[in-house]
Structures are given as structure tokens and as C-alpha cells.
């Protein structure tokens, strides 16, 4: 499992270099900040997933919400 971390890191790094850096150079700040925030967030989650952290799935609250609205059982 651990081997995924370097793979992920390299993929992320590649995207940062070839996709994010041009935005910085072209001074597209909105895109740049949006990109930076999302990609760092994704990276953290990826690492956590690989390290087997139990992350809460968004499916669970949605399920609860849906069952609450439609009055479903469980």
C-alpha cells in the first residue's frame, strides 16, 4: 500500500509543475488559488486514504438526510 504514496506524490507534483505553475506565470490568481487549495486538500486526503485513516464518507449524511426527508426506514 505504501508504494502508492510516492506514485501519488509524483502525479500531484507533475500536475503542479505543468498545470498549476503556468497559471502563476500568467497571473491568473483566481484559478491559481482555487487550484492550490483544492489540490493540497486532495493530496492530504490521498495520503490519509493510503494510510488507512477512516475518513467519514459524505454518503452517510446524505443517506440520513434523504431518509429523513422521504421518511424512509434506515
Partner 1 sequence: MEREIISTKQGTFMMVIFVIGSSIVLGSSVEAKQDIWIAIVVALFMSLPMLFVYSKLLTSFPGKNLYYILEEVFGKVAGKIISLLYVWYSFHLGALVLRNFSEFVQVISLPETPQTIIIIFLGLVCLWAAKAGIEIIGRWTAFIFPVGWFVLLITIPLSMSKMHLINIKPVLHNDLKPVLSSAFSFFTFPFAETVIFTTVFNTLRNKKKTFKVYLSGTVVGGAIILLLSVRNILVLGVHITTDLYFPSYMAVRTLSIGDFIQRTEITVATFYTIGVFIKASVCLYAASKGVAKILNIEKSSQIVAPIGFLMMNLACIVYSSTMEMFDWINTYKYYAIPFQIIIPVITLIIAKIKFYVKN
Partner 2 sequence: MFNRFKKKKSKGHEVKQKDVSIDYMLTNSLQRNIELMKEIFNSDDTFITRQFENMQNKNIKGCIFFIEGMVNNEIINENIIKPIVISTSINVKNNVIDSILQHVIFSNSVERTSEINKVVESIARGDTALFLEGSGEVLIISAKGWQTRAISEPEGEKVIRGPREGFTESLLINLTLLRRKLITPDLKLNYKVIGVKSRTRVCICYINGIANDKILKELNKRLDNIDIDGIMDSGTISELIKDSPLSPFKTVGSTERPDILAAKLLEGRIGVIVDGTPVAMTVPFVFIEYFQANEDYYINFYFSSISRLLRVFCFMLTISLPAVFVALITFHQEMVPTPLAISLSAARQIVPFPAVVGAFLLLIVFEILRETGTRMPTNLGQALGIVGAVILGQAAVEAKFTSAPMVIIVALTGISGLALPRLKGAVIVIRLIFLLFASFIGLYGFMFGVIGLLNHLFELRSFGVPYMLSLMNLDPQDLQDTSVRVPWMYMKYRPKFIALNNRIRNASEGGKK
Partner 3 sequence: MKHVRRMLFSLILISNMLLCGCWNYHDIEKYSLVLGFAIDRNEQENSYLLTAEVLDFEMSGKEAKPTSKLIESKGNSVFDAIRNMLKLTEKRLYWGHADTVIFSQDIAKEGIIPVLDLIFRDAEMREEMHVVISKEKTAKELLEQQTMISTLRSTEIDRILNSQGSLAKAPVVEAYELINELEGEGISAALPAMGIATNAGKKTVELMGTALFKSDKLIGFIDSEETKYFLFVINKVNRGLLIQNESPENQMNKITLEIFKTKTKTKPEYYDGKVVMDIDIKTEVAIAEMETSMDYIKDVNRSKLKKDAEASLKSSVKNIIKKIQDNYDTDIFGFGMLVSANMPSLWDSIGPDWDHLFKKLDVNVNVDISIRNSALVSKSIRKESIRKEN
Q: Which is nearer to partner 3, 18 or 53 (CB)?
A: 18
Among 19, 21, 51, 61, binds partner 1 (CB under 8 A): 19
Looking at the Cβ atoms of 40 and 67, the one nearer to partner 2 is 40
- Cell 493530496 sits at which residue? 43
Residue with C-alpha cell 483566481? 30
> In sequence order, what are the residues at sequence separation of 6 or more whose Cβ sits closer than 8 angstroms to the Cβ of residue 45?
55
Q: Is 19 in the site for partner 3 (CB under 8 A)?
A: yes
Min dist CB 37 to partner 2, Å, is 20
Amino acid at each position: 500500500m505504501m508504494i502508492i504514496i510516492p506514485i501519488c506524490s509524483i502525479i500531484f507534483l507533475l500536475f503542479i509543475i505543468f498545470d498549476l505553475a503556468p497559471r502563476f506565470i500568467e497571473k491568473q490568481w483566481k484559478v491559481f488559488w482555487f487550484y492550490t487549495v483544492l489540490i493540497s486538500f486532495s493530496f492530504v486526503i490521498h495520503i490519509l486514504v493510503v494510510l488507512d485513516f477512516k475518513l467519514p464518507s459524505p454518503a452517510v449524511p446524505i443517506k440520513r438526510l434523504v431518509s429523513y426527508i422521504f421518511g424512509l426506514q434506515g
